[in-house]
Amino acid sequence: MTTVSDFIIQRVREWGVTRVFGYPGDGIGEFDGALGSAERRGEGLEYIRPTHEEICSLMATAHAKFTGEVGVCIATSSPGAFHLLNGLYDAAMDNQPVVAIVGQQGLASLGTFVMQESNLERVFSDVACYVQTIVSPDQAQAVVDTAFRTAKLRLAPAVIILPHDIQGMDWKEPEPENWVARSSASAPSTAIVPPESELQKAADIINAGKKVTFLVGAGATGATDEVIEAATLAGAGIITALRGKHVVPSEIPFHTQQLGLLGSLPSLHQAEKCDTIVFLGTNYPYGQFLPKTGQARGIQIDLKPEQLGVRYPNELNLWGDVRATLEALIPLLEPKTDLSWQEGIADEMRGWEHEMEAQAMLSYPDGGNPRRVIHELNKRLPAGAIVTCDAGTTADWYGAHIRLRRGMLGDMSGRLATMLAAMPYAVAAKFAHSDRPVVCTIGDGAFQMLGMNELITIKKYLSTWKTKTFVIVVMHNDDLTQVSWEMRTEDGNPLWNTSQDVESVDYAGWASLLGFRGVTLTRDEDAGAVFDEAFAFDGVTLIDAHVSKNVPPLPPHITAEFALNTAKALLKGDPSELAVIVDSAEALAAEQVERVKGALHLGGRGHRRDGEAGREDD
C-alpha cells in the first residue's frame, strides 16, 4: 500500500528535488519512517541532517540560491517547526523558492491544547506565500503541487503542514469527485517577456541616455552574458548589489562593484551623475544612494511585480525575467559611439582598487588588519570558488575586497541581513557543488551563533564530497564589531562592553579537536602563505585570524553625520577610544593619500598607467 507519506516523497522527486534538509521528531515521525524506507529501496531523497532546524531552513534557502532549484526543509511540529522561521524569512526576503514540510499533532487533537499542538497555519501565515494543512489523503496531491508551483512562481517559501495521523493513511490516485482537486507536478515557466511596445520604450530611453548605469541584483542570476552585452551596447557602467556580486565578473572593467555603505566611490559617483538608471533583478533598498528625483530616467525589470517602482520613480517598469527580457531588448539597442562615460568609470575603478589595496596593507598596533586577510584571500581564490559571508563587518571586507571572477559564486543573507547564515550557506554550497572549493568568511560572534556546531555537520558528511577543500576564515576580535560601529556612527553611542564582548575561544583548537586543520593567524604578512596552504589541502582548514576590532568599516564617502556621531561616541567615553582614533586616522590617511596620488599622477600604488586619465576626487 502507498501511504500519504510515500506519495509526498515521490511527488517531491517529480518536482525535481533530490536533496532535502531535515531534523527528525515525533510530530513528523511517520513521514521520517517513509523517508527511511524509500532510501533503503533506492527511491529516496538525499537527507541532510545538520545540528538544528534553523540551519535546515537556512540551508534550504542557500540550496535554492546556489542551484536555482526549490529548496526543501523538513521538521517536526512545534517547537521544531518554529525553529524553521528564521531561514524561511531569509527565503521570503531574498526571493527564494523554498518548501517546508512540517509535522503536526493528529487531526482530532487540534484545538484541544494537547502537548506540542500549535496553530501552525497562523504561525507561518506571515512568512509563507502558501500555507496549508493536509486534512485528507485526497487533498495531498493538490496541496503538494500548489506549494511547489506557488513557491516557484512567487519566489517565496511555502509550507505544507502534515498531521501525524494523515502521514500514515493510505493514498490512492484521486478520482473525479466533487471537492477533490486533481493536479500535476508540471513546473511553470517564468521566462516572462514584456510586450514589444514596452521593450521599444525601454530601448528608446536607453538609447537616448548619455550616462547610463545598470544596477544589477541577484534576480539577474543566469543573465551574465546578456547584462554585459547590453551594457557594452549602451556604453553603460555596471553596479552590482551585494547579493548580485556574482552576476557580473570582476574582470569587467566598468563594473564598479557595490553601492552604499559597503560599496565603492566609483559606484557612488555613477549614481550621482548618471542620466539613466536601469534596475535589473534588484530591489536595492538604500534610497539615499540612488539618483535624486528627476536626475535620471529609470527603468526596472523584475519578476516580482510588487517590487516594481517602489525604490525610485521609474519612467518604465517591466514585469519580466531579466535574461529573457534582455535577449528581446538587445536587438533594439543602438551601439554607443561615445564611450567616454564608460571609460571614465573604468578608469576611476582602477584607482579605487589601488586604494583598497593601500587600505589592506596598513598595519595596526592592536591586532591584524581584517582587510589584509580578505585581500590576500581574494588574490588566491581558485577557479570556481564559492564564497559566503555573514552580515557583520565581514560583509564590509567582502564587499570591499572580494572580486568574484567568471564562474565563481558568492552569497549571503541579503535583506534579512542575519549573521547566522554564513556557515549554513557554505555547507549547503558544498552539498550543491561538492567538486568546488568553498570559503566561509565569518566573524567570531556569528561563528559562535550557528558556526561552531556546523563543523560537526561537515565532519559527518565530508567523505561524501568529491573534493574536500573547505576553508573557514574566522575573524577573531572578541567583539560584535558591526554593532559596535553602528552604535558609534548611527547613534553617537560609545562601545558597550557588557553587550558587545565575545568570549575568546581557540577556534583553531576546536577545528583540530574535530580532526581538521586549525591554523592561528596573528601576523598580516603570513596571511598569503596560510591561504596558499589551505587551498592546496584537500580537506577542511579553519583559519583563526586574530584581527583588530577598531579598524573602521569606512563608507566610500564620509558624511558629516558619520563623523559627528563617531566623535560623540568617543567623547562619551568609548572604552576603545585611543585605538579607534589611531586606527581610523591610519585608514583615513591611506584613503586620502591614494586619492591625491591618483589625482596628481604620482608614483606608488596610485601611479597612473599609460593612457589612463586621472581620477576625479570626491
pTM above 0.85, yes or no: yes
In this predicted structure, what is the pLDDT of residue 391? Answer: 87
Secondary structure of residue 488 in the 3-state scheme: helix
State yes or no: pLDDT of 260 exceeds 80: yes
Q: What is the DSSP letter of 405?
A: P
Residues 21 and 121 in one domain: yes
Residues 105 and 215 in one domain: no
Report which secondary-structure segment, H or E, holds 582: helix 577-600
In this predicted structure, what is the pLDDT of residue 112? Answer: 81
Crossing angle of helices 370-379 and 527-536, in 10° steps, is 40
Q: What is the pLDDT of residues 570-612, one digit of tens each?
A: 556 666 655 655 555 556 555 554 544 444 343 333 333 333 3
H helices, E strands: number in the chain: 24, 17
CATH code assigned at 304? 3.40.50.1220
Q: Stretch 366-372: mean pLDDT, rounded?
A: 93
Q: What is the pLDDT of residues 63-88, one digit of tens each?
A: 999 999 999 999 999 899 999 999 99
Domain membership of residue 433 (yes or no) is yes
State yes or no: pLDDT of 430 exceeds 50: yes
What is d(CA 128, CA 100) in angstroms, rounded to the nearest whole number? Answer: 9
In this predicted structure, what is the pLDDT of residue 117? Answer: 81
Domain membership of residue 354 (yes or no) is no
- The residue with greater pLDDT, 537 or 261, is 537
In this predicted structure, what is the pLDDT of residue 605? Answer: 33
Q: Do the Cβ atoms of 446 and 390 come closer than 8 Å?
A: yes
Contacts of 236 (CB under 8 A, 6+ apart): 206, 212, 213, 214, 230, 254, 278, 341, 342
Q: What is the pLDDT of residues 482-505, one digit of tens each?
A: 777 677 666 677 767 777 788 999
Q: What is the pLDDT of residues 378-403, one digit of tens each?
A: 999 999 999 999 988 899 999 999 99
Which domain, by its residues, includes 230?
196-348
Residues 445 and 522 in one domain: yes
Domain count, the chain: 3
CATH code assigned at 527? 3.40.50.970
Q: What is the DSSP string of 438-476?
A: EEEEEEHHHHHHHTTTHHHHHHHHGGGSSS--EEEEEEE
In this predicted structure, what is the pLDDT of residue 571? Answer: 57
State yes or no: pLDDT of 247 exceeds 60: yes
Q: H helices of 280-339, where?
A: 322-329
- The residue with greater pLDDT, 193 or 491, is 193
In this predicted structure, what is the pLDDT of residue 588? Answer: 52
Nearest partner of 384 among 566, 600, 535, judged by Cα: 535
In this predicted structure, what is the pLDDT of residue 598? Answer: 45
What is d(CA 240, CA 613) in angstroms, rounded to the nearest whole number? Answer: 24
What is d(CA 349, CA 197) in angstroms, rounded to the nearest whole number? Answer: 36
Last residue of a domain, one of 320, 348, 376: 348
Q: What is the pLDDT of residues 344-368, one digit of tens each?
A: 999 999 999 999 999 899 898 889 9
Question: Prior bond to 79 cis, omega within 30?
Answer: yes
Residues 83 and 207 in one domain: no
State yes or no: pLDDT of 532 exceeds 50: yes
Lowest mean pLDDT across 299-313, 475-489, 523-537 = 475-489
Nearest partner of 4 among 190, 224, 162, 225, judged by Cα: 162
Residues 8 and 147 in one domain: yes
Percent of the chain clearing pLDDT 90 (strictly above)? 77
Residues 246 and 376 in one domain: no
In this predicted structure, what is the pLDDT of residue 356? Answer: 93
Q: Do the Cβ atoms of 275 and 213 come closer than 8 Å?
A: no
In this predicted structure, what is the pLDDT of residue 561? Answer: 52
Angle 279-284-290 (CA atoms, 0-180°, nearest 5)? 75
What is d(CA 395, CA 43) in angstroms, rounded to the nearest whole number? Answer: 41
Q: Do the Cβ atoms of 535 and 380 come closer than 8 Å?
A: yes
Domain membership of residue 479 (yes or no) is yes
Q: What is the pLDDT of residues 99-139, one digit of tens each?
A: 999 999 988 788 888 888 889 999 999 999 999 999 999 99
What is d(CA 380, CA 84) in angstroms, rounded to the nearest whole number? Answer: 36
Q: What is the pLDDT of residues 316-326, one digit of tens each?
A: 999 999 999 99
Residues 258 and 366 in one domain: no
Mean pLDDT in the chain? Answer: 90
The sign one gets for the Cα dihedral 490, 494, 497, 498 is negative
Residues 441 and 519 in one domain: yes
State yes or no: pLDDT of 467 exceeds 90: yes
State yes or no: pLDDT of 285 exceeds 70: yes
- The residue with greater pLDDT, 329 or 364, is 329
What is d(CA 515, CA 135) in angstroms, rounded to the nearest whole number? Answer: 47
Q: Do the Cβ atoms of 422 and 388 come closer than 8 Å?
A: yes
